Amino acid sequence: MTTGLRRKQLTDEVADHLRMQIMTGHFHPGDYIRLDETASALGCSVTPVREALVTLRGEGLVRSSPHRGFIVETLGRGDIVDIFWMQAELSARLATHAADNPELSKHLATMQAIVDTLEEAVGVGDQSRILNAEFAFHRQVNITANSKKLAWFVYSASKYNPHELYARDPEWGRQAVASHRRLIGYLRTGDTAAIRTEIHTRFDDARDRLIRQLESIDFWDESTSNAAASPA
């Protein structure tokens, strides 16, 4: 049983890695993801790589071709817009639920401490601490909302966010700190309209940053696609 759990965890980690490779343009639409090469690069066996790619196939990020392996599916600008819109809608609903928590003041104090930590991490460019603090802040909002099913959907959707891309951008970090402080204020006053606007603005910004990143590497340039290529 323990071995099975470790294998599932490894498969999930490989899936997370490959998902981010696709979302940030390391793989272009039409590229082949080769099992042996990927396993070697990640220092694991082929099995978790294959299982991870089956997971990504279920998400529509890759497709399988008989005797040819896995091929990266098309990911259009519209897909990215939809992904971030969905996250913004779900996150905004969670945050408005959080505003109704009778113990809100206690949770806000925790959020404030997390934002202080985030600001320190941004100041020194500590990407690991930035990622941890950002995750902790959103987790605290979800806990405050006390809506476990909705939080699960938000967590699942957040897997498509290239968090490391943002964490290494000082401007994004400073904006995140300011946004979180504003959100805390809106939660304190129960201003649900402002909560929704703040959250949608942040996700719109994250969406646009990702699209600019992909455009900068000609992600949607058909000449860079290997869709018609045969695997080596």
The pLDDT of residue 69 is 86
63 pairs with which residues across the strands? 71
72 pairs with which residues across the strands? 62
Buried b (16+ CB within 10 A) or exposed e, 163-194: bebbbebeebbebbbebbebbbebbeeeebee
The pLDDT of residue 222 is 57
The pLDDT of residue 3 is 53
- Using DSSP, state whether 70 is helix, strand or coil: strand
Domain positions in the chain are: 2-75, 77-215
CATH of 77-215, one of 1.20.120.530, 3.30.420.40, 1.10.3720.10, 3.30.310.50: 1.20.120.530
Question: In CATH, what is the architecture of 2-75?
Answer: Orthogonal Bundle (1.10)
The pLDDT of residue 2 is 43
39 in Cβ contact with 45 (< 8 Å): yes
As averages over each run of 10 residues, the pLDDT of the chain (232 residues) reads: 60 96 95 94 94 96 89 95 96 97 97 98 97 97 96 94 94 98 98 98 97 94 48 37
The pLDDT of residue 65 is 85
